[in-house]
Structure 1
Amino acid sequence: MGIEVRPLGVRCNIGCQYCYQNPQRDAGNVARRYDVPAILRVLAADPRPFSLFGGEALLVPLADLERLWAFGLERHGGNTVQTNGTLIGDEHVAAFKRYKVRVGVSIDGPGELNDARWAGTLARTRELTQKTESAIARLLAEGLPVSLIVTLHRGNATADKLPRMHAWLADLAARGLRAARLHTLEVDDPAVGARYALDADENVAALRSFAALERRVPALKLDVFTDMKQMLRGRDARAGCVFRACDSYTTAAVSGVEGDGQSSNCGRTNKDGVDFTKADRAGYERYVALHRTPQRDGGCKDCRFFLMCKGHCPGTAIDGDWRNRSEHCEVHKRLFVDAEDELRAAGELPLSLHPLRARVEAGMLAAWARGDNPTVESVVRDVVANGTGAKEHVPGDMRFVRLSWVSEAARRLWLPRLERVRRALVELPPAAIPRCCAGAEELRDPVWRWRPPVGESELVCEPLLSPLLGRLGLRVLEHAACSPGCAASLAAAQERLEGLRARDAEAAEWLTAALAWPIRWSALHGIAEVKTPVFKLCHDSEDSPQRHAFVRAGAAWPETAAQGNRAPFRAPPRRLMSDAPRHLRGLEHAARRRLPVLSERTDESPAAAPPIAWERLVAPQDDGHDTAVILRLADARFPGREQARAQALAAAEVRVCEGRVAVRHVGERCPRAPDYEHGPLADPGLEQALALLRRWPAAARQLPQIVHTLSPMVPAARPTARWPELRGSASTSQSSQFGVLWVTTYDPAATAQALVHELAHNKLFALGLELEGSGRLITNPVDQLFVSPIRTDRKRPMSAVFHAQYSFMHVTALDLAMLAGETDPAMRAYLAGLLRRNVERMAAGQREIAAHVQTDADGAIFVAAFLDWTAQVLADGRRALAEHDRGG
């Protein structure tokens, strides 16, 4: 256990693509100043040693670092700092020696293997990586203690990169490196996961290779393997925090001290982008719940490694929900089996196979239920010493309520107010229970009376009837209303509120304000979590294998409220880090490095996959050749594609294309917010658009094979008096969420256009052609700009120009098919207008591409065939327009 001092919070000089602190940066919760005396006062009151942390700790001026290190040297005899190493200079090295500073360096490998630690441009990234490597070499040469933290991902731990990683670590060990910590990638952003995440097999293969390296280089210790063996021996007193039943509300292993002296937790728990304070007490309900929850539902029931793993780090939990086990469960299991086999071969009986394991498990569960977290080692001693102990844990009625605040300022302001509200409510006589609300089943969490659905839904109710804060005593009525709109209960609530006003007018105002805040309530595995803009709490609830959530939009915003990334917090218009151009450039670079192998072998046959006929990828083919190629390459480039499809279809209440495409809202807001917002899921305009699309059968067949989700959207605001009828469409898609289209549905013909438009973009994404650059097919440098046929306000890279032309040629081909099958004169006139506009634009795009495109060998075939198809479609379009003009 230790203290992390973060004077500048998560502020950093680089932008690691996968950093678990990015949610805070996305929300704008980045420190700009700090108070050294305030930090020192907190450290003086705590006997534990501390480490300087970030963000990037060395952004703090050296003079202030020395003030902190001087205290650490005097109090603890030494210091620790964690850094990316890019800022280490001569003065830092001298200070490290003077104040006995142990230096932890975060780096993922040499040269390009460290590119995920992105610095805005490739040149700058490589430059800073070189500085980090030089700093490590210098520190080792001068005999300073150095350790590494290495995160494993596709940029450094695939089979082709591991030999270089091993050679690099072996070389550093020969120079004096003694310890490194290996992290499996924590994925908080699907776009990052798509680019960087290893699958379970790849993670296991990589970690096994490092275990072999540790055996070959005994001077180098990789903590994950040591910890696993010790856990199997029942010796966990010094194990890493991920094996020690971490409570996400208090994170005992990490006590953060922010720049103003405020306490905080491990940053891996800040999924909302809010740096919550520590709760007033620890709780271990997660582990009692995981033990009883089947593995198929995100729990750990019947896992023989539960005592050792305990569901692992809550920061890596499935779906980012700490109530689930780790998303890396399969990796941990297989590595524990390896360690288990190794111990057995050495004549040791692992605790996972020991006849006393059930008694030790029961002892740990009983302690967790009491709110204690002993070491496994101490429970083993008790069981062995006494020779007794329960063989299994009998679940009791575990009641708990724990609270954490968004800041100390929020606690100081609202805690006394809410306590005063509770006292005032207790002094009031209870309201009579209306007949319609009487006789209901007694529930520990009254929210369940309103039957929250699986997934997330909006709760519409009068604030005075809200039970969401009931476990804090913040509810007007002591009974649960029979429905969110119960008129009898509302009348009783209004009457009781008047009684509260008469007794304490301020308390009444604070109560009504709190009940009107935005609130998110969710329940999973018997644990409810309630979040407001000023605090969050967890409490016991009805057991549920799936997550149920209610969200109230709220009508009031409290003082001291925090900004975050999702409801109930106010989010900035865009994610300030993850949507920034410098971050997106890093994702594009990762995508280019991870292009699918074109001659990859199939799983079913040792023979090479069928060769690609590039000339047949231009337009949807009747025999499906292009679809098969696109899907094969998409599986290689976007390994989570099929899982995303299955999850989308399982979660969707509305489906189209014979049930093969989900219609659901993706993301809390549209990518084109604030101009667009989520639209209705059931809109006849979408079905009419799909009917029009079927006039081009090859495209209609291709759509549900490549696209798995349609997310409807509508304009956020429009002057209906001026434009009573909306025409046209808006749409978007992005390679980070392959197979997902956001599209308007109010104009069927334009919606059909938008569907094939975004379908075409997704096809190019699978081929490795991004909007702002490509490692395949189109080879024009991204700094060379050309005239786009669609975006005429500014010039764009050739990759973007080609995307525009390719997608709108699909639209133009659809226009032809829709016009050919239309008999209504008014609709024919509308479709002819769409076709005429696109023929003109595509002719200009054809000329620009033909004059300036540069390609590789495959691209030469692909682009030539595309230009031929373009010429044919434009010729057919001109003939169709001429016939229409003649009245045909």
Structure 2
Amino acid sequence: MGIEVRPLGVRCNIGCQYCYQNPQRDAGNVARRYDVPAILRALEADPRPFSLFGGEALMVPLADLERLWAFGLGRHGGNTVQTNGTLIGEDHVAAFKRYKVRVGVSIDGPGELNDARWAGTPARTRELTQRTEAAIARLLAEGLPVSLIVTLHRGNATADKLPRMHAWLTDLAARGLRAARLHTLEVDDPAVGARYALDADENVAALRSFAALERQVPALKLDVFTDMRQMLRGRDARAGCVFRACDSYTTAAVTGIEGDGHSSNCGRTNKDGVDFTKADRAGYERYVALHRTPQRDGGCKDCRFFLMCKGHCPGTAIAGDWRNRSEHCDVHKRLFVDLEHELRAAGELPLSLHPLRPRVEAAMLAAWTRGDNPTVESALRAVMAEKTCSEEHVLKDMPRFVRVSWVSDAARRIWEPRLERVRRALQELGPVEAPQCCVEGGPLRDPVWRWRPPAGETVLTCAPLLSPLLARLGVRVLDHAVCSPTCAASLAAAEERVVALRLRDAEAAEWLLAMLSWPTRWSALHGIAEVKTPVFKLCHDSEDSPGCHAFVRAGDGWPEAGAQGTRPPFRAPARRLVSDAPRHLRGLAHAEGRARLPVLASAPAIAWDRLAAPQDDGHDAAVIVRLAAARFPQLDAARAEALAAAEVRVCDGRVAVRHVGERCPRAPDYEHGPLADPGLEQALRLLARWPAAARQLPQIVHTISPMRAAARPTARWPELRGSASTSQSSQFGVLWVTTHDPAATAQALVHEMAHNKLFALGLELESSARLIKNPLDRLYVSPIRTDRKRPMSAVFHAQYSFMHVTALDVAMLAGETDRDMRDYLAGLLRRNVERMEAGRREIAEHVETDADGAVFVAAFLDWTAQVLEAGHRALAEHGRGG
């Protein structure tokens, strides 16, 4: 464990496509200058050895590098530098010898296998790769200690490329290379993941091939296998940080010292592009939460490798959320199983299979609850020495905690004293009696849960005086949990308290109101809440939740020292400064490998069988929302803008009803319709008869744009039956729909919602980046548009969307008591059952899929059969006079 000295922060001379530091570059948080005396003062205060790091460390002039290395030689007897190797010259080699510098080189392979370390053009990239290869050869020839960091991706670790990688490493080992670190790809940009990310099977195959290589070339040690063997033996004192419990707020394995001397965390945790300072104390709540969270929800419960892996690096967590386990979980498990067999064959009993493992887990959990992070080795010794301990440490609740990390030292200097003064002033005022409406419901760990945040992300609209988002930090006007965002009694009490606060401390009152008006994002997952503002983030214990629940406020104020980042609540540049730049996009276009749909590399392996139909637990909606956010980066902003601009909202205020576009997309036959239409409200009541779909609608749809037939603008059901609707992937989450016929409008809502779900999965009407692989020039009979044949992607869209309609028909008919309406609904159902029977046969006979699509389509066809069977039963009951 040590220090990374980053004089120029993340500044670099090349543009690695997948670099985990790109979010900082995208936000413009790149250093331009540094202060060597300030860096040296920070190093003098810390006894640990350090490594020069970047970005690219060798962009620092050699004279300044030598000042730092002279300190390292005198203090620690040697130095370390991590570099891409492109800038190493004769003077550097001489300095490496003079100051005993161990050189780590980041390179992904020889020649074109290193193209992901992009330099703007293929020719320039290959030229710099040649320089790096030459530098490695020179350093090995000089007898200098060299190690490599190699990231595995589609450019260097697919089956066709592995033989060359093996030959290259074998040759380097013959020249004196002794160590290499293999990284599975961490991706923060879905477009990068589409081009470079290996799937779990490919990662496992590649890593197994390197394990075989290590056996063939015993002089070369590949750290991942060494670490995993040692973890299975319970010997983790010297294991890499990814196998040790890491707190993303303090990252004990890495302390960064930036160019101005301030302390920072490991850059792998900077998903927002903000280089947060270290929290004042470490906390290991992540591991308590992972141990008690089912694996299906992103946790590690009942995994026998939990002690060895601990959910792995928070920088590779599912969905980029450190509260989840690693996205590479399946890869780690399969490799641990391989190494279990290896150790058993050698006569060793791995800790994963040891009868003492539950007790060691108990000891580690107890330590993490206290805020300690011992080695597994020490916990194992303690358990073996304690003969009487037999009970497992099972936590029923998360421990209480609150921890804060600031966006910068400057932000802390300004706002921490103000926070303290606000809290003190509020305490001196004394408590306010809660209205009776807010007393009911009992106490909560986190008052935000009184407002029942739904799964996914929701825009929070409430008076700032009632905001509970910063309550656990003491930044709240009222002490009680307010019953609702519109509680009039609490708002009146809050206004009175602010008046009293102004009389006591006018400045504190203004600071309080300012903080409550900032852009803020609150989210809760696995019993841990995280709240982000432009000047700090905090985490604290919260109510349990299997999925992520988030409230966001756009805010109407901005604080001094607020940070620029890549996503709310931070201010983002007009475009991502690196990931949207032509140079970077040229690299993506150049990248080898099959083009794939942008996916969240930090997302879990998708359970495709659970996306076939709306799930009662909301699982499919959560996946769809996550993939939609990756594929449509402006979605959150569009949702917030729509809700802010809408005078009419439905679905508990979560869906805007407003006109989108100067004219209706189906003009001239249709025009914009009335916003406040009882037909829409009736349609939503009918939709509520299918609860899973009703819950899903506001998570996927943010805007309903009413329309009406231009020729009969005042006609209503039953005079004019049926509906018309449309949606398009370029405006994800927007539906245009007629509202004159409530039942048909309800059908149209789920119909267009289903189209949007497929858009998020990468299945367009006339093309498919995933799932359906039938060539576009092959045409099939659509169950809906029977006038002409269509590509299988369009046929599947029709079947998928109208199966949602058919399932709704069954639910509407089951809940209807009016005889005329039952006759009408039965007619709708009968027509759809007939069409869906034909569509099912066409798809089952002709569909071609990829591996994910095979699972997805099979599950969809099973659901289709279930719904059609239910439809036949409903029609039979109706025919008998039901």
Shorter-normalised TM range: 0.7 to 0.9
Q: Is 1:460–2:461 an aligned residue pair?
A: yes
Q: How many residues align?
A: 692
| 1:594 correspondence with 2:558 | no
Deviations 1:309-348 (A, max 9, x none): 0000000000000000000000000000111110100001
- Alignment partner of 2:418: what SS? helix
Q: Name the SS of the counterpart of 2:465 in structure 1.
A: helix
- Listed one character per residue, the Cα deviations across residues 739-788 of structure 1 (whole Å, up to 9, x for unaligned) are x765977799xxx9x99999989749789xxxxxxxxx9xxxxxxxxxxx
The reply to whether residue 264 of structure 1 matches residue 247 of structure 2 is no
Q: Deviations over 1:249-303 (max 9, x none)?
A: 0000000001111110000000011000000000001001100110000000100
Give the corresponding residue for 2:19: 19
Q: Match for residue 572 of structure 2? A: 571
- 1:642: how far off? 11
Within 1, Cα distance between the matches of 2:440 and 2:550?
A: 25
State whether residues 265 and 277 of structure 1, in contact with CA within 8 Å, keep that contact through their aligned partners in structure 2.
yes
The Cα shift of 1:434 comes to 1.3
User: Is contact 1:526–1:542 with CA below 8 Å preserved after alignment?
Assistant: yes
Q: Which amino acid aligns with 2:378?
A: S
**C-alpha distance in 1, partners of 2:503/2:468?**
23
Return the letter of the residue paired with 2:420.
E
Deviation at 1:429, TM superposition (A): 2.0
1:380-416 Cα offsets, whole Å, 9 max, x none, are: 1111122232431131651000000000001111111
Match of 1:236 in 2: 236
Q: What amino acid maps onto 1:268 in structure 2?
A: R
**Counterpart for residue 193 of structure 1:** 193
**Alignment partner, residue 336 of structure 1:** 336
- Shift of the 415–432 alpha-carbon distance from structure 1 to 2, 3 Å rule, reads same
SS in 2 for 1:393: coil
Question: For 1:259 and 1:237, how far apart are their aligned partners in 2?
Answer: 31
Pair 759,454 (structure 1): closer, same or farther in 2 beyond 3 Å? closer
Q: Is 1:425–1:500's contact at 8 Å kept on the other side of the alignment?
A: yes
Q: 1:641 to 1:259 in 2, by over 3 A?
A: closer
Q: Residue 670 of structure 1: CA displacement?
A: 2.9
Q: List alignment gaps of at least 5 residues for structure 1.
A: 597-632, 694-708, 716-729, 734-739, 768-776, 778-806, 811-888
Instruction: Indicate if the aligned counterparts of 1:683 and 1:745 stay in contact, CA closer than 8 A.
Output: no
Indicate whether 1:153 and 2:117 are aligned: no
Secondary structure, counterpart of 1:513 in structure 2: helix
Match runs of 1:674-685 below 5 Å: none
The match for 2:483 is: 482
State whether residues 710 and 741 of structure 1, in contact with CA within 8 Å, keep that contact through their aligned partners in structure 2.
no
Q: Which moved more, 1:459-468 or 1:387-396?
A: 387-396
| 2:447 maps to 1:446 | yes
- Counterpart of 1:109, as a letter, is G
1:419/1:642 Cα in 2 relative to 1: closer, same or farther (>3 Å)? closer
- Give the Cα separation in 2 of the matches to 1:766 and 1:234: 42
The superposition leaves residues 49-68 of structure 1 with CA deviations (integer Å, 9 ceiling, x where unpaired) of: 00000011011111111110
2:585 matches 1:584: yes
Residues 1:526 and 2:517 are matched in the alignment: no
**1:573–1:674 CA contact under 8 A, matched in 2:** no
8 Å contact from structure 1 (residues 79, 100) kept in 2: yes
- Which residue of structure 1 aligns with residue 103 of structure 2? 103
Partner SS, residue 118 of structure 2:
coil
Q: Tell me the distance in 2 between the aligned counterparts of 1:146 and 1:400.
A: 43
Equivalent pair of 1:450/1:482 in contact (CA under 8 Å): yes
Contact 1:711–1:741, Cα closer than 8 Å, also in 2: no
Distance in 1 separating the partners of 2:376 and 2:68: 36
> After superposition, where does 1:561-640 map in structure 2 within 5 Å?
561-590=562-591, 593-595=592-594
* Equivalence map 1:230-309=2 (5 Å): 230-309=230-309
Letter in 2 for 1:594: G
Matches within 5 A, 1:142-541: 142-395=142-395, 397=397, 398-541=399-542
Q: Distance in 2 between matches of 1:142 and 1:466?
A: 64
Compared CA separation, residues 640 and 226, structure 1 to 2 (3 A): closer
Aligned residue number for residue 555 of structure 1: 556
Is the Cα contact below 8 Å between 1:676 and 1:713 reproduced in 2? no
Equivalent position amino acid for 1:317 in 2: A
Deviation track 1:786-815 (CA, whole Å, cap 9, x = no partner) reads xxxxxxxxxxxxxxxxxxxxx9xx9xxxxx
Distance in 2, Cα, partners of 1:218 & 1:39:
40
Give the CA deviation at 1:440: 2.4
Partner of 1:797: none
* Greater displacement, 71-80 / 676-685: 676-685
Asked if the contact 1:108–1:149 (Cα under 8 Å) also holds between the matched residues in 2, the reply is yes
Give the letter for the 2:413 counterpart: R
Q: Distance in 2 between matches of 1:672 and 1:463?
A: 21
CA RMSD of aligned residues (A): 3.9
Amino acid at match of 1:408: D
- Give the Å deviation of 1:595: 3.8
Closer, same or farther: CA 297–35 of 1 in aligned 2, 3 Å: same
Q: In 2, Cα distance between the equivalents of 1:309 and 1:420?
A: 43
What CA distance in whole angstroms lies between the structure 2 residues aligned with 1:50 and 1:96? 15
Aligned residue for 1:3, secondary structure, equals strand
Larger deviation, residues 294-303 vs 502-511: 502-511
Tell me the distance in 1 between the aligned counterparts of 2:598 and 2:262.
Answer: 46
Distance in structure 2 (CA, Å) of the matches to 1:651 and 1:587: 35
Tell me, what secondary structure is at the counterpart of 1:479? coil
Residue type of the partner of 1:444? R
AA in 2 matched with 1:144 = L
Q: Distance in 1 between matches of 2:309 and 2:602?
A: 27
Contact 2:52 2:80 in 1 (8 A): yes
Distance change in 2, residues 1:644/1:293 (3 Å):
closer
Name the CA distance, whole Å, in 2 between partners of 1:500 and 1:323: 37
Q: Conserved in 1, the CA contact under 8 Å of 2:461 and 2:485?
A: yes
**Equivalent position SS for 1:147:** strand
Q: Residue by residue, what CA displacement relative to the aligned partner does 1:4-31 show, whole Å, maximum 9, x if unpaired?
A: 0001111111111111111111111111
- Structure-2 change in CA distance of 1:468 and 1:165 (3 Å): same
Question: In 2 relative to 1, CA 12–144 (structure 1 residues): closer, same or farther, beyond 3 Å?
Answer: same
Q: 1:413 to 1:681 in 2, by over 3 A?
A: closer
Could you list the runs of 5+ residues in structure 2 that have no partner in the other structure? 644-654, 670-698, 706-725, 739-751, 772-776, 778-790, 795-882
Structure 2 contact 456–625 (Cα < 8 Å) conserved: no
Give, in angstroms, the shift of residue 664 of structure 1.
Answer: 10
- The 3 A distance-change label for structure 1 pair 562 and 634 is closer
Corresponding residue SS for 1:332: helix
- 1:194–1:682 Cα change, 3 Å: farther
Q: 1:652 to 1:348 in 2, by over 3 A?
A: closer
For 1:661 and 1:223, the matched residues in 2 are separated by 37
1:345–1:317 distance in 2 versus 1, CA, 3 Å: same
Structure 1 SS opposite 2:86 = coil
> Is the partner of 1:255 in helix, strand or coil?
strand
Matches within 5 A, 1:38-77: 38-77=38-77
Change (3 A) 1:27 1:302: same
Instruction: Please say if 1:114 is aligned against 2:103.
Output: no
Contact map agreement 1:8 1:258 (CA 8 A) in 2? yes
Structure 1 residue 193, shift from structure 2 partner:
0.9
Amino acid at match of 1:401: V
Q: Supply the distance in 1 between the matched residues of 2:401 and 2:302 (Cα, whole angstroms).
A: 25
* Paired amino acid for 1:77: G
Distance 1:373 1:760 in 2: 49
Give distance in 1, aligned partners of 2:278 and 2:602. Answer: 37
Amino acid in structure 1 at the alignment position of 2:343: L
For residue 20 of structure 2, give the secondary structure of its aligned residue in structure 1. Answer: coil
Residues 479, 634 of structure 1: CA spacing in aligned structure 2 closer, same or farther, 3 A cutoff? Answer: closer
Range that drifts further, 388-397 or 288-297:
388-397
User: Which one of the candidate residues 628, 634, 637 is aligned to 1:670?
Assistant: 634
SS at structure 2 position matched to 1:42: helix
Bigger relative contact order (CA 8 A; separation at least 6): 2
Q: Distance in 2 between matches of 1:682 and 1:674?
A: 14
